[in-house]
Structure 1
Amino acid sequence: MIRASGTAGFQGHPATVASSRLTNAVAASLAVAALSLCLIVTLTVLSTKATMAMGLPV
């Protein structure tokens, strides 16, 4: 069985999949999502600490 050259594997030139504007938009939205997640976690931890400091009413 003879294989034609350049038809298998990752040989050859990579094709451009998306424009740089789309790539930048995706990167920016991922950065905003990561910052939002960090803010949510920080607020949750702070509110939990504040609740524990007040104690439970008996």
Structure 2
Amino acid sequence: MIRASGTAGFQGQPATVSSSRLTNAVAASLAVAALSLCLIVTLTVLSTKATMAMGLPV
């Protein structure tokens, strides 16, 4: 079986599949999501520490 040249693999020219505006929008939304996650984790840790410092009512 002989394979025709240039029909398989990554040997051809790369094609542009998305615009730079779309790439920048996706990168910005990922950055906002990462910052939001960090904020949520920080608030959770701080509230847990504050709750543990109060102690349990007897």
Alignment TM-score, normalising by the size of structure 1: 0.95
5+ unaligned residues in a row in structure 1: which ranges?
A: none
TM-score (norm 2): 0.95
Q: In the aligned structure 1, how far is the partner of 2:12 from the partner of 2:55?
A: 66
**Matches of 2:16 and 2:2 in 1, distance apart?**
30
Q: What is the alpha-carbon root mean square deviation over aligned residues?
A: 0.6
Q: What is the aligned length?
A: 58
Cα deviation, residue 9, structure 1: 1.1
For the residue of structure 2 that corresponds to 1:56, the secondary structure is coil
Distance in 2 (CA, whole Å) between partners of 1:55 and 1:6 is: 71
Consecutive unaligned residues in structure 2, runs of 5 or more: none
User: Where do 4+ consecutive residues of structure 1 move more than 2 Å?
Assistant: none
Q: Distance in 2 between matches of 1:17 and 1:57?
A: 61
1:14-41 alpha-carbon deviations (Å, 9 max, x no partner)? 1101000000000000000000000000
